[in-house]
């Protein structure tokens, strides 16, 4: 067997006439934050909610909505949005993605059921108080308050803290076809977390 060796020009030979860059090369990712950073932010946000730091943002008189999901923005800048979401029974987010944003959540109280598209089917899991999850770009899921989430956590409602980086600007919604594939049904511009609230 004969082996041939390719002779490739060295980087020094090929690029010697190229002037040095006077600016940083941007990352291919839409944000400098990683999923681990977002998980840390949601964990810290959950601790701050429990410590009372955001009591001024919570529903008046401590009465949580019982018919519709509710959300409030805990913090926001050009890089990340952090939200507190209250979940009510039977209110699904519908199968969606977060467009060009990475995401993460920490369940503060109660429990959530997540149904994620794995490329061939929807897979379910339950996230209880203290559990965390992160969502890379392209993650398609549906989230709902878990049926067994009856005052499991330190607060009465089912609550979760979510972080998105860069902040949400759009979401696409999907349906599973009869052929076992996803079909995008619509894309909406939004800065609201986990679907229309």
Q: For residue 144, how far is the Cα from the chain centroid?
A: 14
- Kindly give the pairing relationship between strand 70-76 and strand 81-87: antiparallel
CA dist 41 and 168 (Å) reads: 16
3-state secondary structure of 78: coil
Instruction: Read off the tokens for 76.
Output: 């926001």
Instruction: Read off the tokens for 85.
Output: 């979401």
Low-confidence ranges of the chain (pLDDT < 70): 1-29, 148-156, 195-197
pTM of the predicted model as reported, rounded to 2 decimal places: 0.80
- Say what the pLDDT of residue 197 is: 59
Cite the DSSP H helix spans in the chain.
11-15, 35-51
- Say what the pLDDT of residue 21 is: 40
Contact (Cβ atoms closer than 8 angstroms) between residue 85 and residue 194 = yes
- Say what the pLDDT of residue 196 is: 59
The b-or-e profile of 38-56 (16+ CB within 10 A means b, else e) is bbbbbbbbbebbeeeebee
């Amino acid at each position: 067997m004969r082996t041939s060796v390719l002779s490739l020009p060295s980087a020094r030979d090929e690029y010697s006439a190229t002037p040095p860059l006077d600016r940083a090369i941007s990352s291919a990712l839409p944000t400098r934050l990683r999923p681990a950073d977002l998980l840390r932010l949601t964990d810290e946000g959950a601790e701050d909610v429990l410590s009372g730091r955001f009591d001024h943002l919570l529903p008046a008189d401590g009465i949580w909505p019982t018919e519709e999901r509710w959300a409030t923005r805990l913090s926001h800048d050009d890089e990340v949005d952090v939200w507190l979401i209250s979940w009510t029974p039977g209110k699904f987010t519908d199968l969606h993605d977060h467009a060009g944003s990475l995401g993460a959540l920490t369940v503060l109280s109660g429990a959530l059921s997540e149904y994620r598209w794995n490329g061939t089917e929807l897979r379910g899991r339950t996230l209880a108080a203290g559990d965390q999850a992160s969502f890379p770009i392209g993650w398609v899921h549906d989230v709902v308050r878990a049926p067994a989430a009856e005052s499991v956590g330190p607060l009465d409602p089912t609550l979760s803290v979510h972080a998105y980086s860069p902040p949400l600007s759009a979401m696409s919604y999907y349906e599973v076809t009869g052929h076992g594939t996803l079909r995008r049904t619509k894309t909406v511009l939004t800065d609201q977390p986990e679907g229309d609230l």
